[in-house]
Amino acid sequence: MPSLHANWLDKINLSNQFSMVSTSIATLTLWHIWLSRHSAIFVGSSMSWICVRNQVIQGVHDLSISFNPKIQDSYINQLRLNHLSFNQIPVVVQNGTWTNWQVPPYGSLKLNIDGSCIDNACVGGGVIRDHTGMIILAFSSSFGIGNSAEAKAKAMHLGLRLCSERGLSISFMELDFLFLVNCFNDLWNPPWAIEYILRDCKNRIPSHAFVSLVFREANGLADRLAAHGHTCQGTFTFERDALPTTCHAAYQADLLGQPQYRPP
């Protein structure tokens, strides 16, 4: 009997709702058999399988009231649960969206930037592209100690400084950090650690340029360039034919307009 019980325990499957319910019913049955046997030995009452059955049925009824499984079982298991009078809560399915990097209008330039902070080590990266999606300039840099907001703000500042130094006038700047976008657009007050950085960024960016939020999935190339900053010291710039190998896939995906899935 012990080996039989151990074998049953080894085969318990709690991966779906029906298995959880059936395991609970088996446990209730064993429990009430034990109670009935205990009463027969110590109280002198007779064991009755009808009594055990009725107690298990009552236990299943109580379980069905307190336990409402969400529907994620197979169809046959859902029928079994319904037969046992278990009311099931439908799962609200949330669908994700598809997004991709958008080229700027004809004759204009777009700057995408991103920053990263791992163990307080701040890095950043960005890329300037034209209306065909071709890279005009890309960069990666390490910034020293700081936090994520500082990393992204410094990446923005570096990108705008490189534009100024090379005579590039951008019309659009995108990043995937709502906090920084709203601080730059004077919707929120920036923390003192990045206030002076944003002030200088506003002095460098063309007056006609738009600064906007983009989904992280549509900012993949800037993300890869920022991640590359963790492998280098100082600032590095790249032409389109000399990108780090970790950036090739993201660049090609953007050139082809390949959509990226964004979870709900």
At 211-228, the pLDDT tens digits run 999 999 999 999 999 999
Residue 44: per-residue pLDDT: 79
Residue 168: per-residue pLDDT = 97
* pLDDT (mean) for 234-259: 94
β-sheet with 135-145: strand ranges across: 210-213, 172-175, 110-118, 121-129, 135-145, 235-238
**160: nearest Cα among 132, 124, 120:** 124
Contact call for residues 129 and 243 (beta carbons, < 8 A): no
**Residues 36-83 pLDDT 10s:** 888 888 877 877 778 888 887 777 767 666 666 655 556 656 666 666
- Write down the residue that tokens 């919707």 correspond to: 187
Mean confidence (pLDDT) of the chain: 86
List the structure tokens of 10. 């080894």
Domains of the chain: 2-84 (no CATH), 98-262 (3.30.420.10)
Q: Strand 172-175 vs strand 135-145: parallel, antiparallel, or unpaired?
A: unpaired
Pairing of strands 110-118, 121-129: antiparallel
Q: Are strands 121-129 and 135-145 parallel, antiparallel or unpaired?
A: antiparallel
Is the predicted pLDDT of residue 89 greater than 60, yes or no? no
Q: In 3D, which of 55, 52, 74 has the Cα closest to residue 63?
A: 55
pLDDT in tens, 187-201: 999 999 999 999 999
> Tell me, what's the pLDDT at 12?
60
